Structure 1
């Protein structure tokens, strides 16, 4: 089996790649540049993570125009990174690009690092969304391409514990893109919440 693994340089997607590697799945790592503030740090962390796992360098989908058109706190420095974090269509865009890449690579599935849906803040983070996305992707591609979310039963503390157990380190999960995590964005707040 082969899959396109959506990787961002963050803890969740790096763990997804590690788990697939342990299962002997052939992977085509894919990084999406959607115009996010943290693009450079995310991509650097992503390349480092794939190298440490012995996986290929990620292919990069350069879609920066999306972030200029569909502005949010994740893409526009004039907006608040927390209150304005919803980026409409982002996960569907990721899955569609990954599925098109999978179709050309002959891969059977795409994999995304979404967590348990009771942690979902946005409509494109739910099991219903994933089911509908898979149906639409298969229709668009003219063949079935499965959408996998191997962490869908995990909460952040589960991810943190399993990643530590597997030796995953030096990932980058802050939406601001600064050297030090901001402590205020959704990604940073996930980690703060789990420390309480």
Structure 2
């Protein structure tokens, strides 16, 4: 099996790529630049993580105009980084881009690092969304492309522990784009609420 792995340089997607690699799945890592404030540090962490895992350097989908049009706390510093974090259509953009790339490289599926539905804050983080997205991608691509979310049974505290066991380190998971985690964004707060570090 082969997949396009949506990787961001964060803990979740890096662990997802590591688990797929352990299963012998061929991966085509893909980083999506959607105009996020934290793009530069995310991309560098992503490149480093894929190198550490001996996976191919991620291809980059340059879709920065999306964040200019669809403003949120993740794409516009004038908005609140947590209260305005919902970026409508972001995960569908990711999956559509990954599926189109999967069609180009003849991959069987796409993989996204969504966690347990209990942790969902937005409608594009649910099991229903993943199922509907797979149906939509079938219509768009004219063939079956599996949508995989291998971490969907995990909560953050479990992801943190499994990543520790797998030796994953030096990931980047802050939406503010600063070297030091801001402690205010959803990504930072996720670690606080779940007891991660």
Pairwise CA distance, 1:195: 2.1
Partner of 2:194: 194
Partner of 1:177: 177
**CA separation in 2, counterparts of 1:119 and 1:35?**
24
TM-score (norm 2): 0.99
**CA separation in 2, counterparts of 1:108 and 1:190?**
31
Partner of 1:45: 45
1:35-184 paired onto structure 2 within 5 Å:
35-184=35-184
CA RMSD across the alignment: 0.7
**CA separation in 1, counterparts of 2:38 and 2:178?**
7
**CA separation in 2, counterparts of 1:47 and 1:6?**
13
Pairwise CA distance, 1:194: 1.8
**CA separation in 2, counterparts of 1:46 and 1:67?**
20
**CA separation in 1, counterparts of 2:159 and 2:42?**
18
**CA separation in 2, counterparts of 1:195 and 1:19?**
22
**CA separation in 2, counterparts of 1:90 and 1:174?**
17
Q: What per-residue deviation string (whole Å, max 9, x for no partner) do you get for residues 20-73 of structure 1?
A: 000000000000000000000000000000000000000000000000000000
Q: Which runs of 5+ in 2 are unaligned?
A: none
Partner of 2:18: 18
Partner of 1:5: 5
Partner of 1:27: 27
Pairwise CA distance, 1:131: 0.2
**CA separation in 2, counterparts of 1:4 and 1:158?**
24
Q: Which runs of 5+ in 1 are unaligned?
A: none
SS at match of 1:144: coil
